[in-house]
A and B are shown apart, each in its own frame.
Chain A
């Protein structure tokens, strides 16, 4: 078959620096999807630990795994993964209150009016149950039940799922997959970075033992250090600490305290941040994400040890980070993926998503002829910016929409000035119960509604149409929906049972 005009025999030499989650995802993605266009080498050092961020993921990861031709079952087994229907947020809006942000919708739109307007109307008449009762994903999560969604337009299709997995096993799994799919691995530390004197492009990485790894394109997955993009190219850093003050995490893996395995992640607000509980097949991930301006590392470690339910499997481990991002993720011939490009704290499990999107965009905009076109670089940076900005605003909302005044930390985030883009969204919701609409990027209507309502931020006014009908009839109709959801959930297996029944396929649970 003819190969068209852009045929090229010489492959683009891609060098990935860093063998963590982002590094191996990048290497595998490029090697698997562009085998004839790229030659992928990865440099990593066993002496450098990986952060292993993102034990919890978003549903998009399924697309990535599938696209690479990875078997879901093998992947889940290798990473001790569980299924995830959403995140349970506790004590964020007010101590003692909680809500689940589901991978799914609430109710159904009626006559073109969003369900939440009907719910607000029912609430006014004292006829509403909690909003989550009208979401299949929320009800299933609360009941610890799971079954994959139906592939049709029925009620059973109104949710999605992601995975919770052992991030320290995810990298190695991707490594094995990469090594058998054409990625060349170099063990060693980078001693020096060689650059072209004319255009400033990176030309090679010099390793400590003297090896020289040449490349056309360098993907910086060196984590927070950002060796190429940050240190060498000095790409400017945009700091978001003033909006997202958490800059440390104390991680503490524990045993399961109960036999149940929750099909969701739990995020519990703490005096200087929040703590996660991520159930895996074999253990419970725990950690305290905190602001070092408000408590010390020792205090945070003590707090997480005190709060964790199961038996600690290790000492608490401190991770340090800075919320923000490089102004440009692609500069010259260096592309930052993962923490080297930016970091938004793990509150909505967006780390792996952001790495995945960067890889997807890089593959779409890959310089197959070896020459980087500035237009592709600009397009890449535009897309990455869009992703970061949307996630950023949504994360800030979780802190800002609160009545908590029990600590310095919460006083700060409650009263801080938020980005204009978020302020506009907030006002639109407050005054009219409406969501600023977009179809690109992450977090749509249902996500915003979940957090607004879940954190007690109800609008002053809702749509006029739900009030036109009879409230009792509306209540009956929503009650029928709720019953249908309950029945659907009652027919689902328990999450741990499902994992066990599928054990041969996906699990190693006892």
Chain B
């Protein structure tokens, strides 16, 4: 007869950035009879996941799960909507491409798209928009999310949220308080080892000793707890990911837009996240780019510059310590992969929530999947640097994992091999490669596809797109109408 695991009596979460807060809330909700203690050691800005203004659409589900409503984020935390990310300059000087997140695309349309793309290199000229409603709506500047439970013509449009990090963090703090997450302000001054290479307790400056059964390390790149473990080791990503310095700009004037941008320039890459609290700019540069050149390219006053050593921990769960987010992997913030990784690791932790006694095999299974997640993020970034344009800016780089196979299959066959634990769906990866300027090959079946079915798919999509555009309100107007009564103070 099976009996339930004895629950952890107390779980300590270290780091009260937005990653640690979400972890603490999620754990507290899952384990109402256990104490969850959050150690208020706030990660520094080098902890990209903790300072991200946005994530991928899958984070919306985690928000739902921890009781953080989308309307709250919009009304109280400067929330806004992203449908697409515009990639500029990756496939050549004037090349542009759009990444959206839809899962379903008529294969006939995709084939038609690949075919058309084979003939015309300028993506912007395509009327097909990859069959993505999100791209059509973003172009038209029209969108409103469907109210929960009442489907509309826009229900299938997949979106990501943005927010003001301070206000968002305040929402999380409120939620954590409501749930009785205990809070201890201070930094860790000592880690006290226990049996079996585990931690028995930590000592927080001026607050004394805190024992726990499980420790979640959300302290950012310093990985305060995990790095104290005897088996701690890093896997270096410097060879494959070239960025060495990340310049974080101060937010400039607010921008209301359905798109964000990721562009490649002479100095490096530049991301622009359109926030109601301002435009957030980050620049990443490789070796040998002078500081003043970089600051000029940033195009905004610099708030911080971070020297980056990229890599991941060999095993994110050692003993009774589990590292989440930047404490487990540090990599350049081209797109919201840092926070997406942290959120998916939290989901994994919830799925595999251990008891007081940790089973070595469940730790191994958690590590297997968490490492797959980290490596999949690594590969997502590496895709950017294999473009000829990026190679000329950053120097040519070895290609990690199965990226070379994926590119080869994409370019010759328009095929994306399945990957476990990837941040993007196969279709998302297809869209990303297009946005980066890679040219899709035709799948073998396309040689025989009859033009009729492609034409039908094209017409059906055009009709759907037109109906959606007519139905959707102008986004800026809609956003103003819902947020009018609740100005955001930043």
Q: Residues of A with Cβ closer than 8 Å to B?
A: 1-8, 33-37, 111-112, 120-121, 123-124, 363-366, 368, 373, 375, 379, 424, 427-428, 431-434, 436-440, 458-468
Q: Of the candidates A37, A424, A465, which one forms a contact with B361 in the assembled complex, judged by CB atoms under 8 Å apart?
A: A424
Q: 9 pairs across A/B with beta carbons < 8 Å?
A: A2-B118, A7-B447, A37-B444, A37-B447, A428-B361, A432-B354, A438-B420, A461-B4, A464-B7
- The answer on a CB contact under 8 Å between B361 and A2 is no
Most chain A CB within a 10 A radius of its CB, from B3, B32, B415, B445: B445
- The answer on a CB contact under 8 Å between A111 and B1 is no
Q: Which residue of A lies closest to B119 (CB)?
A: A2
**Contacts A3-B115, A375-B408, A379-B405 given; does A461 touch B447 at CB 8 Å:** no
Residues of A contacting B420 with CB < 8 Å? 438-440
* B420 → A minimal CB distance (Å): 6
Q: In whole angstroms, what is the CA distance A463 to B444 when docked?
A: 47
Residues of A contacting B369 with CB < 8 Å? 437
Q: Of the candidates A111, A379, A461, A467, which one forms a contact with B409 in the assembled complex, judged by CB atoms under 8 Å apart?
A: A379
**Contacts A364-B415, A365-B413 given; does A462 touch B4 at CB 8 Å:** yes
Q: In whole angstroms, what is the CA distance A427 to B359 when docked?
A: 10
* A126 → B minimal CB distance (Å): 10
Q: Which residue of B lies closest to A438 (CB)?
A: B420
Q: Which residue of A lies closest to B422 (CB)?
A: A439
Q: Of the candidates A34, A365, A466, A467, which one forms a contact with B447 in the assembled complex, judged by CB atoms under 8 Å apart?
A: A34
* B56 → A minimal CB distance (Å): 17
- The answer on a CB contact under 8 Å between A124 and B3 is yes
- Asked if B443 is at the interface of the complex by the 8 Å CB criterion, the answer is yes
Residues of B contacting A7 with CB < 8 Å? 447
Q: Which residue of A lies closest to B7 (CB)?
A: A464
Residues of A contacting B451 with CB < 8 Å? 1
- The answer on a CB contact under 8 Å between B413 and A120 is no
- The answer on a CB contact under 8 Å between A121 and B408 is no
* B451 → A minimal CB distance (Å): 5
**Contacts A368-B447, A431-B359 given; does A464 touch B6 at CB 8 Å:** yes
- The answer on a CB contact under 8 Å between A465 and B30 is yes
- The answer on a CB contact under 8 Å between A427 and B361 is yes
Pairs of residues from A and B, 5 with the lowest C-beta to C-beta distance, nearest first: A4-B118, A467-B4, A366-B444, A36-B448, A464-B5
- The answer on a CB contact under 8 Å between A34 and B444 is yes
- The answer on a CB contact under 8 Å between A111 and B30 is yes
Q: Of the candidates B33, B115, B118, B448, which one forms a contact with A34 in the assembled complex, judged by CB atoms under 8 Å apart?
A: B448
- The answer on a CB contact under 8 Å between B405 and A461 is no
Residues of A contacting B415 with CB < 8 Å? 364-365
- Asked if B362 is at the interface of the complex by the 8 Å CB criterion, the answer is yes
Q: Which residue of A lies closest to B114 (CB)?
A: A4
Residues of B contacting A34 with CB < 8 Å? 444-445, 447-448
* A380 → B minimal CB distance (Å): 11
Q: Of the candidates A6, A124, A368, which one forms a contact with B2 in the assembled complex, judged by CB atoms under 8 Å apart?
A: A124
Q: In whole angstroms, what is the CA distance A366 to B441 when docked?
A: 13
- The answer on a CB contact under 8 Å between A434 and B353 is no
- The answer on a CB contact under 8 Å between A464 and B447 is no
Q: In whole angstroms, what is the CA distance A119 to B114 when docked?
A: 49
* A262 → B minimal CB distance (Å): 32
Q: In whole angstroms, what is the CA distance A431 to B2 when docked?
A: 10
Q: In whole angstroms, what is the CA distance A364 to B445 when docked?
A: 8
Q: In whole angstroms, what is the CA distance A439 to B417 when docked?
A: 13
Q: Which residue of A lies closest to B117 (CB)?
A: A4
* B179 → A minimal CB distance (Å): 14
Q: Residues of B with Cβ closer than 8 Å to A?
A: 1-7, 30-33, 65, 114-115, 118-119, 347, 350-355, 359, 361-362, 364-365, 369, 405, 408-409, 412-413, 415, 417-418, 420, 441-445, 447-448, 451, 454
Q: Which residue of A lies closest to B415 (CB)?
A: A364
Q: Which residue of A lies closest to B118 (CB)?
A: A4
- The answer on a CB contact under 8 Å between A428 and B365 is yes
- The answer on a CB contact under 8 Å between A36 and B3 is no
**Contacts A4-B119, A431-B359, A465-B30 given; does A459 touch B2 at CB 8 Å:** yes
Residues of B contacting A364 with CB < 8 Å? 413, 415, 443-444
Residues of B contacting A462 with CB < 8 Å? 2-5
Residues of B contacting A424 with CB < 8 Å? 361, 364
Residues of B contacting A427 with CB < 8 Å? 361
- The answer on a CB contact under 8 Å between B408 and A458 is no
Q: Which residue of A lies closest to B348 (CB)?
A: A437
* A61 → B minimal CB distance (Å): 19
- The answer on a CB contact under 8 Å between B2 and A112 is no
Residues of A contacting B118 with CB < 8 Å? 2, 4-6
**Contacts A112-B351, A375-B408 given; does A434 touch B365 at CB 8 Å:** yes
Q: In whole angstroms, what is the CA distance A431 to B5 when docked?
A: 10
Q: In whole angstroms, what is the CA distance A223 to B4 when docked?
A: 49
Residues of A contacting B3 with CB < 8 Å? 124, 460-462
Q: Which residue of B lies closest to A458 (CB)?
A: B2
- The answer on a CB contact under 8 Å between B365 and A436 is yes
* A9 → B minimal CB distance (Å): 10
* A386 → B minimal CB distance (Å): 10
- The answer on a CB contact under 8 Å between A468 and B33 is yes
- The answer on a CB contact under 8 Å between A37 and B448 is yes
Q: In whole angstroms, what is the CA distance A192 to B446 when docked?
A: 35
Residues of B contacting A120 with CB < 8 Å? 2, 4
Q: In whole angstroms, what is the CA distance A7 to B115 when docked?
A: 11
Q: In whole angstroms, what is the CA distance A424 to B408 when docked?
A: 34
Given contacts A5-B118, A424-B364, A432-B5, 5 further A-B contacts (CB under 8 A): A37-B444, A112-B30, A364-B444, A428-B361, A464-B4
- The answer on a CB contact under 8 Å between A465 and B353 is yes
Residues of A contacting B1 with CB < 8 Å? 123-124, 458
Q: In whole angstroms, what is the CA distance A432 to B4 when docked?
A: 9
Q: In whole angstroms, what is the CA distance A121 to B1 when docked?
A: 9
Residues of B contacting A436 with CB < 8 Å? 365
Q: Which residue of A lies closest to B357 (CB)?
A: A461
Most chain A CB within a 10 A radius of its CB, from B5, B347, B454: B5
Q: In whole angstroms, what is the CA distance A411 to B168 when docked?
A: 61
- The answer on a CB contact under 8 Å between B30 and A461 is no
Q: In whole angstroms, what is the CA distance A466 to B2 when docked?
A: 12
Q: In whole angstroms, what is the CA distance A147 to B147 when docked?
A: 34
Q: Which residue of A lies closest to B30 (CB)?
A: A465
* A361 → B minimal CB distance (Å): 10
**Contacts A1-B451, A428-B365, A432-B362 given; does A375 touch B405 at CB 8 Å:** yes
Residues of A contacting B444 with CB < 8 Å? 34, 37, 363-366, 368
- The answer on a CB contact under 8 Å between B445 and A33 is yes
Q: In whole angstroms, what is the CA distance A292 to B32 when docked?
A: 57
Q: In whole angstroms, what is the CA distance A276 to B3 when docked?
A: 36
Q: Of the candidates A4, A112, A379, A434, which one forms a contact with B65 in the assembled complex, judged by CB atoms under 8 Å apart?
A: A112
Q: Which residue of A lies closest to B362 (CB)?
A: A432
- The answer on a CB contact under 8 Å between B4 and A121 is yes
Q: In whole angstroms, what is the CA distance A123 to B484 when docked?
A: 54
Q: Which residue of B lies closest to A114 (CB)?
A: B351
Q: Of the candidates A2, A439, A458, A461, which one forms a contact with B355 in the assembled complex, judged by CB atoms under 8 Å apart?
A: A461
**Contacts A34-B445, A112-B350, A464-B355 given; does A379 touch B417 at CB 8 Å:** yes
Q: In whole angstroms, what is the CA distance A439 to B373 when docked?
A: 14
- The answer on a CB contact under 8 Å between A434 and B445 is no
Residues of A contacting B353 with CB < 8 Å? 463-465
- The answer on a CB contact under 8 Å between B445 and A431 is no
**Contacts A365-B413, A464-B353 given; does A428 touch B2 at CB 8 Å:** no
Q: Which residue of A lies closest to B445 (CB)?
A: A33
Q: Which residue of A lies closest to B368 (CB)?
A: A436
Q: In whole angstroms, what is the CA distance A341 to B5 when docked?
A: 45
Q: In whole angstroms, what is the CA distance A6 to B447 when docked?
A: 8
- The answer on a CB contact under 8 Å between A431 and B361 is yes
Q: Of the candidates B5, B119, B347, B448, which one forms a contact with A463 in the assembled complex, judged by CB atoms under 8 Å apart?
A: B5
